[in-house]
Structure formats: structure tokens, C-alpha cells
Amino acid sequence: MFLEKIYTENFRNIQTHDIQFSRGVNLISGDNGQGKTNLLEAIYFLSSLKSFRNSQRKDLRTWKTNRFGVRGLVVNEKTGEKSILEAVCDQGKSQYRANNHRVEVIADYLSRLLVMAFHPDSLSVIKGGPALRRMFIDRGIFSEDRNYLSILRGYNRTLAERRWILKNRRRELIDVWNEKLIDLGVRLTVERGKYSRRLNDEIKKLELPPGETAHADIRYCPSIMDFPEKGVFEEELRTVFVSRLKKIIEEEERRGISMVGPHRDEFLIYSGGRDLSTYGSQGQQKGALLCIMLGQSNLAALGASGDPLLIFDDVMSELDGSRVEWIHGVLETMGNQVFISALERISVRNRLGRGRKFVVRQGKIEPIESAA
């Protein structure tokens, strides 16, 4: 899929626009504070129904308005079929449509157009807590398998019910919810393990960032049990999960929390045997995370939605020249639609041919030229 056109309504400072994009690279330039990131945020919101800047929805609307929305024309590059996606929020109420029909199942909407974003806050995946890494990996799995979201949501609902039981010491109810927690928890653990191994394989296929001698390596550390290198059978996971829950039930009741399960999983990011969160420079962390995102993109392309859109928001200005050239070289070989924001009008190519350049001034977006 690729985004041919987007229409915005009261989205941050962007003036109402009907903007036509290139299938290849789209460069968004302009001074700081003019709205470059806001446009990329609108594209991301159309796909993901959230901001990559972790903004609340009420902060996405134009000042002194109650309603905002985005609408996009999406094209299937394999069949040429076009469809319309629309997300509107009006006084706190949201509505999502595909081809003018209301979409009731969020997973159905989210699987229609995939977007991956790299931006200044992306390094929190490496530097931040394990919840951010779990979310990062879960999004990658969902980009391939839309059913994964329902498993994850089912687990989180079960976890919330079990927490209530523990806090209220209703042990007569615990067995039923333990069974649900075990069933869904084992499925999540197995899927995360499979995905981590496949993602590492994809990362190893990429050209190393300048100055690096080893690829990034994601080490999955499940809460239930240590994972053998070649994975583990579901039955073994289930047996260990049951045993651990029985042993810690009194401690869980005392603390009122579930102490074991996928909600406590960790993903460590290594390179050359070093934990990058502790021993990696900022340049190494950025290079590793970019490789991971590109690996995720390659895996997502195997799913029903095809190549995801790639967003690079204000990334080039923070990298040295050799790493910028490395990114250019990688993008030149890829078939993804790409959106890049930058202060200057840089030249970036990919194998899809000609791109487009835009300049943003006080929320007004104007095409400049076609770019080779």
C-alpha cells in the first residue's frame, strides 16, 4: 500500500490541504516550527490512530476547535485498487471509516495502511523501560499478523481481572483466570520468540552502519522462563507457567499484582556483545535502531498490507555525514514510500524513481518540484 493523497481538517497548525504525494521519496522542508512534523504526524495518525510524539488526541486539534480529522487515498501497488481511509475525532468521540463505511473493529482499520516512524524520541526504545520495547516489538508483530492484536488485548483484559481478584483476595476465582492468563500468555510468548529470531535474521541482511563491526541483536528475555536459542515448545512453557503461578500466589496476593507473564518480558538490544542501552554511544544506538526498523519493514512487507510507509522526522540533521549517506544508500534499494522532514532541501532517491519536494510555511504546504 502507499498513500497517494491526504486531506487534513483542523489538524494542529496545518491549513486544510489536499496533498498529493509521490510513490517514492517525499521531502518535507521548512524552518523549525512551521509544521513539517505536524504533516508527518497526520500521516502517522491516519494509519495508527495515534501520534508518534505521544501527544494526547486533544492536543492534535487546531486551537479553539472541537473537531479534527484526516482522510487519505490509499493505493494497493499490486492491484492498483484505491480505497479511502478516514479518522475523525469530534468532541472526544472518534469515528473511523474505510470507503465511507464505518469500521467497528480497530484491528481491521489498523491493518489497512502501515507506517513506521523514526524521530528524535525513538531512542527511548533503547534508553527507556521494558514497556517501550515490548510495545515496539508488538507493533512489529501486528504489522505482519492482524490477529496478534486480539491476543494481546485479551491477555491485558485477563491481567486486569486477575489483578482485581488478587487485590480482593478472592482466591476461589483465581483458577479460572489463571487458565486464561496461561493460555494467552503462552501464545504471546511463542509469537514474540518467533518474531525476535526472524527479525534478527532480517537485520543481519542489512549493510552495517558506518564504523560498526557487528549487527544489532535483539535478545528476548521472557518472564515465564529462559528461552533456549532455538525456541521452546508451547507445552513446556505452559508447564513452567502453571508451576510458577502456584509458587508465588501468596506473594501476588500480598502485593496485589501479577508477578509473572508477558507483561514483564524484556527485550535487550545488543551489538558486538554489548548492551547498547548502557555501553552504546548515541550514534551506535541510532544506527542499531534504524537497522531494527528497516528489518521490521522487510518483515511487514510479507504481510497482507505490503511495504509500510517510512517516516524520518528530523533525523538527518542529527546524524554525521557518513551515516546520512548510509541511510541514502539503504533507501535507494528499497521499495517503500518514504517521508522525510529536514530543514534543507536534500536529495534522496530510491528504486521507485522520481519523488516530490514540499516546503512548509506557517502550516501551508506547497509542492516545490519533482525530484530525481
- Which helix (H) or strand (E) segment holds residue 131: the answer is helix 130-144
Strands (E), the chain: 2-9, 18-20, 25-29, 67-75, 82-90, 93-98, 101-102, 115-118, 216-221, 266-271, 274-275, 309-313, 338-342, 355-361, 364-371
* Helix (H), strand (E), coil (C) string for 220-274: EECCCCCCCCCCCCHHHHHHHHHHHHHHHHHHHHHHCCCCCCHHHCEEEEEECCE
Question: Which runs of consecutive H residues, i.e. helices, occur in 301-333?
Answer: 321-332
Query: Is the CB of residue 53 less than 8 Å from the CB of residue 37?
Result: yes
Residue 62 DSSP label: P
pLDDT of residue 371: 44
Neighbour-count burial for 102-118, b at 16+ CB within 10 Å, e otherwise? ebeeeeebbbbbbbbbb
* CA dihedral sign of residues 268, 234, 244, 255: positive
Question: In this structure, what C-alpha cell is assigned to residue 13?
Answer: 497548525
Confidence at residue 347, expressed as pLDDT on a 0 to 100 scale: 67
| CA gap 215, 200 in Å, rounded | 9
What span, in angstroms and rounded, lies between the C-alpha atoms of 369 and 281?
38
Low-confidence ranges of the chain (pLDDT < 70): 228-232, 318, 346-354, 369-372
Sheet containing 309-313: order of strands: 115-118, 309-313, 338-342, 25-29, 355-361, 364-371
Q: Is the separation of the CB atoms in 183 and 259 below 8 Å?
A: no
pTM of the model: 0.90
Give the span between the Cα atoms of 314 and 339, in whole angstroms: 11
In this structure, the number of other CB atoms found within 10 A of the CB of residue 156 comes to 12
Cα–Cα distance measured from residue 222 to residue 193, given in angstroms and rounded to the nearest whole number = 8
